[in-house]
Amino acid sequence: MERKGCTAKKKAAIGDWAAGCSAFSWETEDQRHLWGRNFDFNRIADGSNVTYIPRGRDFYTFGTELEDSLDRDTRQTTDYAAVGVGVLLFPSTPVLYEGINEKGLMGGQLYYREFACFPQEKEDGRLPLQPPFAVTYFLTKCATVQEVIERLQEVTLVGQPLLGAGWGSRFSGRFPRFTGPFQTKPERRSS
């Protein structure tokens, strides 16, 4: 079902393919699963790094302390450890662009500027989830693809701006770096 305004937005975006990530997966002859992706940007957010999220850590699915928008009712605790490429801009929730969890579940965010459309409001009875936090949420809460499918019935992806930008817009500028319970090694600073 198309959301109001999404069709025109998608048609307009098709003419501007300046960036768009792709992913691929396959099963090997010995039944192993491989997943890969490209990253169609000339830069990523400052502070992006290999990020480890341990089991048993609290995080939030909506809002940030940095913007004074944190919805404390969305607090979750990780069931599974995950590692991937991400950024630790928010002490409340790390952002994984892609990763893998301790059960072998893999996934990533694919970016198509102005192509995705999400409701702007939270839906009663469902956990609000901002798209930048989706990979973190699913990798730390699910062991299988089937569990992801089931959890999708319990959440609403909400298109609320993050750092003043709607998801699907580029982040620009330098952001403060935070360390917290999600970072497992000291951050290297350039001199």
Annotated catalytic sites, by residue?
21
Residue-level length of the chain: 191
What count of other Cβ atoms lies within 10 Å of the Cβ of residue 44? 14
CA distances from 103 to 47, 53, 70, 110 (A): 27, 14, 29, 22
Say how far apart CA 48 and CA 1 lie, in whole Å: 35
Residue 170 and residue 163 in contact, taking contact as beta carbons nearer than 8 Å:
no
Is residue 108 within 8 Å of 98, Cβ to Cβ?
A: yes
What whole-number distance in Å separates Cα of residue 165 and Cα of residue 171? Answer: 7
C-alpha span between 6 and 10 (Å, rounded): 6
Residue listed under structure tokens 């999600």 = 182
